[in-house]
Amino acid sequence: MAMQAQEIEDLIRAGFPDAKITITDLAGDGNHWAAEVIDESFRGKNRVQQQRAVYASLKGAMDGNAGALHALALTTKVPE
């Protein structure tokens, strides 16, 4: 079952309540998504640490064949 953009945003928002989050359906199929997450909590963390934090907020939605989220291209940034 594919995930909806709002479901992805809600999961990320639970972990990053003040973030600016943009979700984009890359293929129009509900299975291939891009997310941009801009949050102050990323300051001082490297890109891998930032992305691991976001993936952790997805609570298993990307766990292999059992996950509802097939693909997510993730961009993380600190606010300017």
Across the 80 residues of the chain, what is the mean pLDDT of every consecutive 10-residue run?
87 97 90 94 98 91 69 94
Length of the chain (residues): 80
How much is the pLDDT for 68?
73
Q: How many CB atoms lie within 10 A of CB 76?
A: 21
CB 33 within 8 A of CB 5: yes
- What the block records as the tokens of 26 is 């890359």
Residue 14's CB is within 10 A of a number of other CB atoms, namely 11
Widest distance between CA atoms in the chain: 37
Note the pLDDT of residue 67.
65
